[in-house]
């Protein structure tokens, strides 16, 4: 059985850590930090040039993480950056490397500064990418040929935004993504139980396993950036204002305590938590380890 699917379907919530690959080719520092998650995290969720910022190939870094740490991988693939041939090539590579899951996403808008002259591709959309994954899982390349060796099934997932206002268009997107083959949804960060439960209940109606985004914040300036620059979080801006005027130490401590409490209150209602590494992985790893110890202590 796919280990990510198995973790999502067990009684206690699966623990994911979302990180971006390195900006350059040096990997040792990040791998050393991630090594502390062995035996704690169920999945490393690898972002794909998030916010239009170039990082090492997620496929390459996924291979390195699997070889060094042996932690299952959910690989994000953006339709923004690849045509259908490139998407199929990367999916075949993921299958050959034993990557367990793929998160199909449209991709963030590119920075207004032009991002070095890059243009979005969008040869296919999220639904098209989900269909490609389904075809390859059946051994069909979509070009009238069959694969000589069937891929280990790639578990297809998508992203969702519980903070959207109004929420109805997002729920309709969820319905369509589930119909196209998605089996789980990883959300934007949530900041209150009611918002998370409303989204989770809708996703469950479509048979989707819900992995809630959890965003620990290091400092007031990070909260301000999220509030002002991340369009998807604007309806939740009032939650970010609680960090105004706090020292870095106080903001960090409050964020850890708040998110642990939020996760505790939602653990019975979702399949997992995706702890996001905005601004670097250290605080996200600290929260992941704190949650793992909390869950283990509760079982004892």
Show the domain range for 182: 3-293
pLDDT at residue 119, rounded to an integer:
86
Measured CA to CA, the distance from residue 98 to residue 104 in angstroms comes to 17
pLDDT at residue 114, rounded to an integer:
54
CA angle 58, 126, 108 (to 5 degrees): 60
Cα-Cα-Cα-Cα dihedral of 77, 78, 81, 86, to 10°?
Answer: 40
Residue 146 lies in a domain: yes
Residue 186 lies in a domain: yes
* Over residues 282-299, mean pLDDT: 89
What do you get for the CA distance between the two ends of the chain, in Å? 27
Residue 42 lies in a domain: yes
Residue 299 lies in a domain: no
pLDDT tens, position by position, 107-139: 877 766 655 667 899 999 999 999 999 999 999
Residue 277 reports pLDDT greater than 50:
yes
Residue 51 reports pLDDT greater than 90:
no
Could you tell me the CATH number of the domain that includes residue 215? 3.20.20.220
Contact 56, 21 (CB under 8 A): yes
Residue 300 reports pLDDT greater than 50:
no
Residue 208 lies in a domain: yes
The residue among 202 and 226 whose pLDDT is bigger is 202
Measured CA to CA, the distance from residue 100 to residue 31 in angstroms comes to 19
Residue 61 reports pLDDT greater than 90:
yes
Q: Chain centroid to CA 86: how far?
A: 21
Measured CA to CA, the distance from residue 135 to residue 120 in angstroms comes to 24
Query: 39: alpha, beta or left, given left = phi > 0 and alpha = psi -120 to 50?
Result: left
Query: Which residue shows structure tokens 């367990």?
Result: 100
Measured CA to CA, the distance from residue 72 to residue 68 in angstroms comes to 11
Tally the domains of the chain. Answer: 1
Tell me which H or E stretch contains 155. Answer: strand 155-160
Q: Of 33, 24, 31, which is closest to residue 64 (Cα–Cα)?
A: 31
Residue 300 lies in a domain: no
């Amino acid at each position: 059985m796919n280990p990510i699917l198995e973790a999502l379907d067990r009684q206690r919530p699966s623990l994911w850590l979302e990180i971006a690959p390195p900006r350059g080719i040096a990997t040792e520092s990040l791998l050393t930090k991630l090594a502390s998650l062995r035996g704690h995290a169920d999945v490393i969720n690898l972002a794909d040039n998030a916010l239009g910022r170039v990082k090492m190939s997620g496929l390459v870094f996924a291979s390195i993480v699997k070889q060094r740490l042996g932690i299952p991988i959910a690989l994000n693939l953006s339709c923004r950056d690849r045509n259908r041939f490139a998407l199929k090539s990367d999916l075949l590579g993921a299958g050959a490397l034993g990557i367990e899951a793929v998160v199909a996403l449209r991709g963030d808008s590119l920075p207004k500064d032009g991002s070095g002259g890059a243009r979005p591709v969008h040869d296919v959309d999220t639904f098209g990418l989900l269909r490609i994954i389904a075809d390859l899982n059946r051994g069909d390349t979509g070009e009238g040929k069959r694969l000589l060796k069937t891929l280990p099934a790639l578990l297809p997932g998508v992203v969702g935004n519980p903070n959207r206002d109004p929420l109805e268009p997002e729920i309709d997107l969820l319905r369509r993504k589930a119909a196209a083959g998605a089996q789980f949804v990883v959300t934007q960060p949530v900041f209150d139980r009611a918002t998370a439960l409303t989204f989770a209940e809708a996703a469950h109606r479509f048979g989707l396993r819900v992995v809630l985004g959890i965003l620990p914040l290091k400092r007031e300036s990070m909260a301000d950036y999220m509030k002002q620059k991340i369009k998807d979080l604007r309806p939740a801006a009032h939650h970010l204002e609680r960090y105004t005027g706090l020292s870095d130490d106080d903001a960090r401590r409050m964020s850890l305590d708040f998110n642990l409490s939020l996760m505790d209150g939602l653990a019975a209602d979702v399949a997992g938590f995706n702890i996001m590494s905005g601004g670097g992985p250290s605080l996200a790893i600290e929260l992941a380890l704190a949650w793992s110890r909390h869950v283990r202590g509760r079982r004892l």
